[in-house]
């Protein structure tokens, strides 16, 4: 492993991103056409590192709708073809909390039970260049979730006034640095101690047990009353992964395609079964599913909390539903 | 390929804009015509009234006895009936009449050229409707998807999905945080959040979802200091007033 | 089971179709690739993700005996888009199989016990492999009892099997319908009403329940009244899965995945699960 630390002058940032873009699709934090902050493929646009992006970088790995299979109808057979996924990606400037969301995906798709080849194909060729936070964000609570340090990243970056401090964190990251050595200078700069406090807090002691006990708490009913079920929280959440599969015929053929699409536990269709029976019909039951999946359920199979403390669901909620508040209320009731 | 499906377009009380936008499908429309035969439509070539149809696509709402008879007659000879566009699915713009004070309604109705009913009714309120394709104007990609599905014997189901889902998929900033009252949370998705993406609020042209939480959204609007009249107008622009009490 | 069998719809041919009841057919299906068919083995209660190409992928329980794996049978009611497209299919047509998934009934553990089968409507399909496996090794089990309730008599599945089972030594089969019809001479009422008519001895018994949520709920209550302990009861739950492998989270019930932790749950596990979430 290269021990040296490097510094990338900000005036070289675009040259660096351009050089990277020659080999891969580089997703960078930026403003999109409509003015929201998110991660988009680099095309020379201005980079946004002032704060956490409103949208998470999850579309770099899982798009809202993706083709998984092509089914070609033959006279006496059906050709099943796995659609090749675009490889060679980097998420540049991914925040530490979001790297934990990628870790959650890795655990779910690659470690738990059967490996999902669809995700594996995309993930195998995806690099993470993590940008550590030096200031608390508006609604994040990463310190409570233990996600303030990045994980599974290939490069580690710290932003300074006029430069980025960069070090390799994996062998793939090392190769990258070697390749783009010309744009980087060696530095003696030491990674600064990161000691800021998140504004929000979530007490995670025995949280799973307490929430499981609070399954029938009145809190759900109260919060459910103001829930719009607009699905915004699940859409912006970096670790929300629930998907459905959908077949569509191709116009004027007998051939079809299978898509994987984002689903949301806030929708009634999520628990619909044959005969149109819906298991989670009420608003509160669906809100509870969201919160419980984040803070309790995921741990059962995957040994980590699905909530990574980015606070985006709180920032996006039009009616101000706050998962940390719900957890605190239930704690006060059932601890 | 199986037999071509026979379809017809019909207009009740409306601007006929939904039928017109079908031509936006351009080459896809030509492709669709390989498996769909438009046998009866004013804006297309063939006019063969009274023929049996596989699919009747009906735009417009029911404003008069004439509309009602016409609709019932179409229903009679069609296997599937599709309510096409806001007027047909939720009474739409003509339905604003339904939310007006009684005196104003009477005044308006007296000025109509042909005798009109007291209220405007959407198609599903009058005859059995198999599918609804919402929007003002209706979304042609949805019509194409429906025709493809029906051709293969698939029947799409309308799910309670709000515009917000698609809006967030397109990574738009939320208008509610900019003080703009937007009906996205209570309106059926499928439009790919066309208006909010262009930074115009959703005005509910696709109809309200079955499990919409109107009360919570109205509270949110009030918190934003939106004028009560604007709130009322927004909720009743395309849709029937969801806050109306029984008997009103 | 190879990664391919679990993650990709594999071509399978319909070799036989049998009308089971109104809008219900049993399809006998074989993998096109013989090697896959040879690799297939399953316990009763497992399910496949069945692809009707262009129409979708749906979870379907295996309804044939685990002792005979040269083909599988899937008994399917015409209820949705995919099943509606499947029903007119003919012998020789191609569908896709992915799986099998789920835990299944641990029938090895049930040896030397009295077995009680409780089934409602098309719940007989997932239960049939268990009955067949146990009847196939009759000497390993003690007394057998089957309670089967349907809406109407014509909706009873596997009528030939039911007849055959009633002739099996020490196998008590009891049936009921919700709506009596002129041809029906038997019991009318819910399936739990039959429990009193059989001489159940809970001490050394195991009960397996498959049916709609309401039926499972009341069957457990009634069995407990008779003296069954939670550990002696097993039931299979229904949810709409999209992946079958614990990834898509559609079948998550209070943290438990019906696809990987179930669909078969013991009474003790079920007691912790809300069958309907209010």
pLDDT at B248: 56
What chain B residue is nearest to A246 in terms of C-alpha separation?
A: B156
Residue C216 domain boundaries: 107-236
B contact chains, 3+ CB pairs < 8 A: A, C
CA dihedral C249, C253, C258, C264 (to 10 degrees): 170
> How far is residue B58 CA from its own chain's centroid?
10
Domain-located, residue C112: yes
Instruction: Please indicate, yes or no, whether residues C51 and C169 belong to a single structural domain of this protein.
Output: no
Instruction: Please indicate, yes or no, whether residues C76 and C196 belong to a single structural domain of this protein.
Output: no
Helix (H/G/I), strand (E/B), else coil: C186? coil
Domain-located, residue C45: yes
User: Quick check: B246 pLDDT over 70?
Assistant: no
User: Quick check: B212 pLDDT over 90?
Assistant: yes
Question: For testing the chain A interface, which of C9, C11, C53, C55 should be mutated: the one with the most A CBs within 10 Å?
Answer: C53
CATH of B5-151, one of 3.30.43.10, 3.40.50.700, 1.10.3720.10, 3.30.1330.80: 3.40.50.700
Instruction: Please indicate, yes or no, whether residues C78 and C123 belong to a single structural domain of this protein.
Output: no
Instruction: Please indicate, yes or no, whether residues C113 and C199 belong to a single structural domain of this protein.
Output: yes
Domain termination site, one of C72, C100, C128: C100
| Contact status of C79 with chain B (Cβ, < 8 Å) | no
Reported confidence tier of residue B69, pLDDT bands at 50, 70, 90: very high
User: Quick check: A4 pLDDT over 80?
Assistant: no
C55 contacts on A by Cβ (under 8 Å): 247
H or E element, residue B31: helix B27-32
Sign of CA dihedral C60, C64, C67, C72: negative
In percent, how much of chain A has pLDDT > 90?
79
**pLDDT tens per residue across all 278 residues of chain C:** 788 999 999 999 999 999 999 999 999 999 999 999 999 999 999 999 999 999 999 999 999 999 999 999 999 999 989 999 999 999 999 999 998 999 999 999 999 999 999 999 899 999 999 999 999 999 999 999 999 999 998 999 999 999 999 999 899 999 999 998 888 888 898 999 999 888 889 999 999 999 988 899 999 999 999 999 999 999 999 888 999 999 999 999 888 999 999 899 999 998 888 766 76
Encode pLDDT of B131-185 as tens digits: 999 999 999 999 999 999 999 999 998 899 999 999 999 999 999 999 999 999 9
Find the CATH number of the domain harbouring C70: 2.40.30.10
pLDDT at B101: 87
What chain B residue is nearest to C55 in terms of C-alpha separation?
A: B154
Residue ranges covered by each domain of chain A: 5-334
Instruction: Give the ipTM of the model, two decimals please.
Output: 0.91
Reported confidence tier of residue B110, pLDDT bands at 50, 70, 90: confident
Find the CATH number of the domain harbouring C173: 3.40.50.80
Interval A66-75 mean pLDDT: 94
Question: For testing the chain C interface, which of A69, A78, A251, A258 should be mutated: the one with the most C CBs within 10 Å?
Answer: A78
Encode pLDDT of A207-230 as tens digits: 999 999 999 999 999 999 999 999
Verify cis geometry, omega within 30 degrees of 0, for the bond prior to C100. Answer: yes
Which residue has tokens 């002129």?
C182
Q: What is the count of structural domains for chain C?
A: 2
Domain-located, residue C167: yes
User: Quick check: B115 pLDDT over 90?
Assistant: no
Instruction: Please indicate, yes or no, whether residues C184 and C221 belong to a single structural domain of this protein.
Output: yes
Domain-located, residue C13: yes
Chain region(s) in chain B for CATH 3.40.50.700: 5-151
This prediction has a pTM of: 0.93
């Amino acid at each position: 492993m290269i021990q040296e630390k490097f510094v990338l002058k900000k005036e070289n940032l675009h040259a660096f991103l351009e050089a990277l873009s020659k080999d891969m699709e580089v997703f960078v934090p930026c403003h999109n056409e409509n003015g929201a902050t998110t991660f988009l493929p680099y095309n020379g646009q201005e980079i946004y590192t002032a704060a956490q992006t409103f949208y998470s970088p999850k579309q770099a790995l899982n798009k809202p709708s993706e083709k998984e299979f092509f089914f070609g109808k033959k006279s006496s057979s059906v050709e099943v073809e796995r659609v090749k996924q675009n490889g060679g990606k980097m998420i540049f400037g991914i925040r530490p909390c979001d790297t934990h969301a990628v870790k959650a995906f890795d655990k779910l798709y690659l470690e738990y039970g059967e490996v999902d080849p669809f995700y594996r194909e995309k993930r195998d060729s995806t690099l993470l260049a993590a940008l550590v936070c030096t200031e608390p964000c508006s609604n994040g609570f990463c310190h409570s979730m233990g996600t303030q340090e990045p994980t599974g990243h290939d490069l580690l970056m710290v932003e300074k006034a006029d430069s980025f401090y960069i070090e390799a964190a994996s062998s793939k990251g090392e190769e990258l640095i070697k390749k783009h050595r010309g744009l980087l200078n060696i530095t003696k700069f030491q990674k600064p101690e990161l000691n800021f406090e998140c504004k929000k807090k979530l007490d995670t002691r025995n949280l799973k047990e307490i929430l499981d006990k609070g399954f029938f708490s009145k809190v759900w009913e109260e919060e459910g009353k103001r829930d719009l079920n607009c699905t915004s929280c699940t859409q912006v959440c970096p670790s929300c992964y629930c998907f459905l599969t959908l077949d569509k015929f191709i116009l004027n053929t007998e051939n079809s395609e299978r898509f994987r699409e984002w689903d949301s536990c806030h929708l009634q269709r999520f628990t619909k079964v044959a005969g149109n029976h819906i298991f989670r019909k009420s608003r509160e039951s669906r809100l509870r599913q969201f919160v419980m999946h984040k803070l309790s359920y995921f741990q059962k199979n995957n040994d980590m909390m699905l909530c990574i403390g980015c606070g985006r669901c709180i920032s996006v909620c039009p009616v101000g539903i706050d998962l940390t508040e719900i957890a605190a209320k239930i704690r006060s009731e059932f601890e | 390929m199986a037999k071509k499906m026979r379809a017809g377009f019909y207009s009740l009380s409306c601007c006929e804009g939904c039928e017109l936008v079908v031509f936006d499908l351009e080459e896809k429309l030509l492709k669709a015509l390989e498996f769909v035969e438009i046998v009866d439509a004013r804006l297309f070539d063939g006019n063969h009234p009274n023929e049996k149809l596989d699919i009747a696509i009906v735009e417009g709402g029911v404003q008069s006895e004439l509309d009602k008879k016409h609709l019932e007659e179409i229903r009679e000879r069609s296997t599937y009936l599709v309510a096409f566009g806001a007027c047909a699915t939720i009474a739409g713009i003509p339905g604003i009449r339904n939310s007006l004070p009684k005196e104003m309604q009477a005044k308006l109705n007296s000025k109509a050229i042909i005798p009109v009913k007291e209220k405007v009714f959407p198609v599903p309120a009058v005859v059995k409707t198999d599918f609804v394709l919402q929007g003002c104007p209706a979304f042609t990609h949805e019509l194409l998807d429906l025709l493809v599905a029906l051709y293969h014997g698939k029947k799409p189901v309308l799910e309670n999905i709000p515009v917000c889902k698609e809006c967030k998929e397109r990574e738009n900033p939320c208008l509610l945080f900019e003080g703009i009252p937007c009906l996205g949370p209570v309106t059926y998705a499928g439009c790919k959040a066309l208006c909010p993406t262009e930074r115009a609020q959703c005005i509910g042209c696709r109809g309200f979802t079955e499990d919409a939480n109107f009360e919570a959204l109205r509270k949110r609007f009030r918190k934003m200091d939106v004028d009560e009249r604007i709130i009322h107008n927004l909720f009743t622009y395309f849709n029937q007033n969801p806050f109306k009490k029984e008997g009103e | 089971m190879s990664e391919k069998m679990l993650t990709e719809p594999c071509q399978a041919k319909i070799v036989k179709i049998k009308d089971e009841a109104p809008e219900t057919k049993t399809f006998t299906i074989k993998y096109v690739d013989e090697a896959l068919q040879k690799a297939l083995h399953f316990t009763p209660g497992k399910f496949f993700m069945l692809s009707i190409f262009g129409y979708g992928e749906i979870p379907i329980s295996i309804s044939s005996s685990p002792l005979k794996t040269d083909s599988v049978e899937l008994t399917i009611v015409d209820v949705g888009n995919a099943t509606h497209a499947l029903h007119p299919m003919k012998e020789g047509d191609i569908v896709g199989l992915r799986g099998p998934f789920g835990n299944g009934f641990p029938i090895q553990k049930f040896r030397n016990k009295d077995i009680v089968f409780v089934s409602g409507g098309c719940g007989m399909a997932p239960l049939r492999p268990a009955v067949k496996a146990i009847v196939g090794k009759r000497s390993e089990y003690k007394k057998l009892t089957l309670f089967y309730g349907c809406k109407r008599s014509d909706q009873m599945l596997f009528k030939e099997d039911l007849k055959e089972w009633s002739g099996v030594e020490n196998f008590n089969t009891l049936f009921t319908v919700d709506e009596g019809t002129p041809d029906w001479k038997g019991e009318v009422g819910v399936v739990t009403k039959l429990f009193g008519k059989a001489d159940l001895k809970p001490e050394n018994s195991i009960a397996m329940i498959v049916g709609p949520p309401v039926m499972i709920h009341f069957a457990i209550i009634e069995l407990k009244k008779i003296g069954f302990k939670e550990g002696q009861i097993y039931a299979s739950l229904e949810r709409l899965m999209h992946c079958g492998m614990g990834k898509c989270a559609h079948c998550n019930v209070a943290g438990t995945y019906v696809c990987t932790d179930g669909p078969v749950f013991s009474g003790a596990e079920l007691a912790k699960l809300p069958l309907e979430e209010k």
